[in-house]
Structure 1
């Protein structure tokens, strides 16, 4: 499941250091995720004696089929650091502790299926129920509005097609269909820009209200998809770029690694 860690052998030629680092890294990295299909860890340290002083040239992690905080599915995640200073005594104690925070180049790939599964998570669904939307006050008579059955389709050129249903005044559900262009705000928040509403796919009697509900739903999404909500324990992600590729949404940026969790 975990790749071997290379770059450390003792002067006597034994591999006790490599085995120990592999065991410790496997244990600590595993705790970053609720579940993982595969994770590979690689540590480069040359000459290997530098490890005794807690100096590592490079640390890499790549994983597939990862679950974060029980409900959020990531197809692939990888990061690669520059030089890292660790407390070697902590390795001897079965932990991996950074002497100081470090940064890493990072990439995250989400699939269309994974995004839609996230919209079925209780944490997300709760944020779409019984909402008071000022722009809909007249339509809803001040009653809260709920959105459900959200489906996202990934399109070329950083676009997505979003389908949902809105419950307005406990009447018949109103369908919402729109396309939007994804963008990044403040390097952490994903926004849905230039929404185009497909009212031709909605019954004529509901077209106008569907458009109004789509505007409100876009505002809600723009305030909801924030990477800070999905940070790993001790790791903060920031986005430099996002792009759609096939049925995947790819984020590239950097990770600020303040500490590595040492849960037992």
Structure 2
């Protein structure tokens, strides 16, 4: 009986792994375990699904070093499950973590997907709209909970467009403290007004306080952030509508 139970889990798990692996551009390792048996399958039930992956690459330039999720009990489509395909009848909740490296972050920042979302960001500076177009952004993870950013942008003010470069040292929001900016320095250009710096800080605060992001049919809620030398770990809760099948969109 135990062998039969293991076989059912194995068939379902391998089917789910194949579906996800085929949708990714690259994957170093993936492990999906569906916890169920034939009787539960016929009832459309499973005790849970664990998802673990390493080196997952989406759209060439979006890479995740590690992801682990564990769902609670779920309702599944019994007919699809009998053919080795997992389809959720209802969305399920999961907990886990996501790890990205310094290299992963900088690779993503050069991707067309991220660059498109960051073009011509607008600031309200004392009632006047000033836009800035990022030219180059680099992120460094020196440890001690800190993130260093170095960037160059084009500031587009009324009747004037000029380059501006900066370095910033910040601490992201965690469960025990708010997002904090430790330092901000101009490294190129004529400098900026206090009003513009204030507007930039407000925009940075908004970005650092983002708590929810989506990865196809999974909505992640960030509960904590841990920054170590060379890597950043997001502790998350997730609401999963379906096991990702195309993994082609990453959005905030």
List aligned pairs for 1:118-157, cutoff 5 A: 118-135=108-125, 144-157=131-144
RMSD over aligned Cα atoms: 3.4
- Return the match for 1:165 from 152, 155, 172: 152
CA contact (8 A) 1:197 1:214 kept: no
Name the CA distance, whole Å, in 1 between partners of 2:28 and 2:234: 20
Residue 49 (structure 2) pairs with residue 59 (structure 1): yes
SS at match of 1:35: coil
CA contact (8 A) 2:134 2:153 kept: yes
- Map of 1:113 onto structure 2: 103
Shift of 1:217: 4.4
Shift of 1:126: 2.9
- Map of 2:249 onto structure 1: none
**Residues 102-159 of structure 1 deviation map (CA, whole Å, 9 limit, x = unaligned):** 1111200011111111111123223443344332888xxx774322210111133322
Given the superposition, is the C-alpha separation of residues 8 and 233 from structure 1 closer, same or farther in structure 2, using an over 3 Å criterion? farther
Shift of 1:39: 0.6
Which structure has the highest strand share of the two? 2
| TM-score w.r.t. length of structure 1 | 0.74
Name which one, 1 or 2, has greater alpha-carbon Rg: 1
| TM-score w.r.t. length of structure 2 | 0.77
- Map of 1:182 onto structure 2: 172
- Map of 1:27 onto structure 2: 18
SS at match of 1:155: strand
Name the CA distance, whole Å, in 2 between partners of 1:221 and 1:82: 35
Shift of 1:49: 3.8
The number of residues matched between the two structures is: 239
- Return the match for 2:219 from 227, 233, 236: 236
- Map of 1:10 onto structure 2: 4
- Map of 2:76 onto structure 1: 86
Given the superposition, is the C-alpha separation of residues 221 and 65 from structure 1 closer, same or farther in structure 2, using an over 3 Å criterion? farther
CA contact (8 A) 2:123 2:200 kept: no
CA contact (8 A) 1:192 1:218 kept: no
Name the CA distance, whole Å, in 2 between partners of 1:18 and 1:144: 53
Name the CA distance, whole Å, in 2 between partners of 1:116 and 1:136: 33
Structure 1: gaps spanning 5 or more residues: 1-6, 186-190
Given the superposition, is the C-alpha separation of residues 166 and 99 from structure 1 closer, same or farther in structure 2, using an over 3 Å criterion? closer
Residue 94 (structure 2) pairs with residue 104 (structure 1): yes
Structure 2: gaps spanning 5 or more residues: 247-252
Task: Out of 155-164 and 210-219, give the one that drifted further.
Answer: 210-219
SS at match of 2:242: coil
